[in-house]
Structure 1
């Protein structure tokens, strides 16, 4: 089992504190969640602490260009990629992913997408619809303990989706 990185714990504490500041948590709930966040030993322990708090959503929109993310980038809990004529290439293999589960929604009319996962990660593409394209997921479909699970949803009308692990 991998040790929980301090950045993950700090992010959970920030989300809990923000929820309290926004009036979504009472003092007793704040205390309970902070204790759980500070004593968590894995991403699985940490996930219930923030699961019902507002998701961090990032929306990437383009009309005809390609959306590309690679290298050392911060992956949000929820990512929406919206493009009429462009595609997407999302490489999570060296990215910072502070969550145990990430949701990616694709809205691509004429473009395709490639999602590259870190070693050991799993993905579920059951929520992806396509009219003339195809979906190929070469990663395990069921979540595994203490590893990243990516849930991909959305619509690729004329494009195809490939989800695979990073090449060594």
Structure 2
């Protein structure tokens, strides 16, 4: 019996692998893991064929301090996060002019709730959330254009809750669920 296409494990991209290697190296340099642990986890990451194998190699790393807020900012240009990047508990995105694309579909989300605060002037923003995520946009204020998001019932229980707040000036925010 074969599983439906949406339940098949996703393949690992080079971006996913590079991000995971960087996270392991940072954990080693900060003294969170020993050289032997880093070597073992690097072998897991470099030989992984599915996204879940990479996530399992990173789960033993210490969690980020839940009280801190990570900020991604740009005056102009493009802000892009994709692949197996670690999503902090609180994420603030600031952009005066330009595009923002946050892809959480393959990101390492270790918290049951993630708060994303947007402070955007002009330009478009796209946020791709995992299939099983629950999205809350009640505290987001849009100026010129309305939000494009259709609430979706999670396909599997236990997905992360993504709370999006903040303000958008002259631009549009599009939120979509990943297809895989």
Tell me if both proteins adopt one fold, taking TM over 0.5 as the criterion: yes
The match for 2:96 among 76, 84, 99 is 84
Q: Report the counterpart of residue 116 of structure 1 in structure 2.
A: 128
Determine helix, strand or coil for the equivalent of 2:62: helix
Q: Is the 8 A contact 2:100 2:126 kept in 1?
A: yes
Instruction: Please give the per-residue CA displacement for 1:13-65, whole angstroms capped at 9, x wherever unaligned.
Output: x75xxxxxxxxxxxxxxxxxxxxxxxxxxxxxxxxxxxxxx523110110111
Q: For residues 123-163 of structure 1, what are the alpha-carbon distances to aligned partners after superposition, in whole Å with 9 as ceiling and x for unaligned?
A: 01111111111112224389x85211100001111111111
Q: 8 Å contact 2:132–2:157 — kept in the other structure?
A: no
**Cα distance between partner residues in 2 of 1:88 and 1:146:** 27
The yes-or-no answer on 1:11 pairing with 2:11 is no
* Count of residue pairs brought into register by the alignment: 124
Over 3 Å counting, the alpha-carbon distance change for 1:158 and 1:11 in structure 2 is same
Return the alpha-carbon distance in structure 1 between the equivalents of residues 163 and 113 of structure 2: 7
Match of 1:19 in 2: none
Cα separation, 2, equivalents of 1:65 and 1:154: 20
**Quick one: which of 128, 138, 143 aligns to 2:140?**
128
Runs of 5+ in structure 2 lacking a partner?
A: 1-55
Q: What pairs with 1:67-82 in structure 2 (closer than 5 Å)?
A: 67-82=79-94
Q: Normalization by structure 1: what TM-score?
A: 0.65
Structure 1: tracts of 5 or more residues without a match:
16-53
